[in-house]
Structure 1
Amino acid sequence: MTLDIGVMLPASVPGPDHPGLGDIRDSARFAEDVGLDSIWSTDHLIASAPILESNVVLATAAAVTERITIGFGVLLLALRPVAWTAKQISTLQHVSGNRVVLGVGTGNPAHGDAGWRETGVSFADRGRLTDEALRVLPGLVTGAASTLPDGQAVQLAPGAPMPPVLVAANNRRALRRAAEFGDGWISIGMSAAAVRAELAVLRDLAAEHGRPAPDAAVVGPEVSAEPARAAADLAAYAEAGVKRVILAPTGAGWQRDYEFASAVRAAL
């Protein structure tokens, strides 16, 4: 069975009362050493608990690894000027050897709008701004002559291969965004049956845009705490059409979580 198994880097904590952040270098190296397929970093300027900046986290992870995929899980495009974002992504592709996967989202409302207000971005407009950024991002990253949403012409150099774009969220707007702009769709905590049903919708939406159906990824899939049973749980996701899963932190510490993920991968 081919199923990409990923984990979250210890770049954020679930709440202010939880233990501190983990060592990004050690965790990235460990994930690669135990055979995992991908490592991911979350993104917010101001969240409900401490969080590191995702571009710096992934650059650090890239510097100490050779093989493993490094992913934004997910980047908030609307928080940043799109040209700067494109420059960071193309640079990360260069320094990592083209190992980037670009997960994109519009932000969890549970974190509030403080980060958006601090950057002068309308929280209400974040969906529209994300769409505008996605339209021009491939050209900017690859070094093509491009026109920004405000009409400004720009061409960035050096360009780099555009990484796969995965659009995240459990709602119909995210499915439409994935169908129009994405190579994949990320759901959060969905059951295998629910993912299967949504993928049928996604295929129809992609066809409307004349595009192939995006792949599916699941963050925090429903799995047993025992590796062999967890592997059986993930088999159901694979049968539903899921291509990659990102196992959620359990609170046991990143090393134990990564060892568990490795055992599950071996059981698959």
Structure 2
Amino acid sequence: MWLALDEERGQQVQLRLWPAGTESAQVLKRLTSLSSPFLPPPLDQLATLDGVWVSHAHHASCVSLETWLTREHYLPFLEAVRLLSEIASVMEAAEIEGLRHGSLQPAVVLWRNSHTLLMDLGLCQAKGIEVTAAHDLVAFGVLAHRVLTGQIPEENQANAPSRLREHLPPGLSRAVVRCLCINRTATPVTWHELSILLSNLVTPAQGYTIQHLRDQADWLRRQGQEKQASVLEQEAEKRANERLQSEQARITGSPERHN
């Protein structure tokens, strides 16, 4: 990885270097056809530098998921689901183009202002390394387990994330286990299934628990997004009050009043 100055925008960027050759050219062409907002934009012109190609650039201010997890251990539920959903959507589209990752891990997941960038997709193939779909799905399961619980699952073990962290939807926990067990099951999970499951979890705010909302509000506040944090805190407080009123009505046997 190299640091450079984007003179047009006046910003420092990081450059990703790929081996020069026909294989790289084919992979980069397929990457360009994806046009995903969660992939770094390829450079308009491939520059040659000491026998390698400069293929991608992104803001140097992006933070790696590895850096965050080393400091905070895991992500709040809403942020974790959003990030996993974006990665799954990229991998589903990549599968259609015959692209694999081969080194899916927190170090190659970057984000800036809650915007995800998945780096190095197809790089292993450009280097001539054979990668299977199962390899990427297991790696995704390990990554998902870590962002949801803060722990890396032991090798050849597939403990459900819900055993380590409360308030996780059973369907999500089962999907992570299916990724980890993909080589030991007759019905392996697919990127399409994961993409649908995660996108559905991202959308319905009513499906989130009060704790989910409070955790996300705390996350947003630490990112300097005070307005969004306040909205979630108000929603959490509203639901907490509704729950309290419902419980009081149940105990006293009086009908619950609604304004």
- Which TM-score applies when normalising by structure 1? 0.30
- Give me the TM-score of the superposition, normalised by structure 2: 0.30
Structure showing the higher helix proportion among its residues: 2
**Using CA pairs below 8 Å that are at least 6 residues apart, which structure has the higher relative contact order?**
1
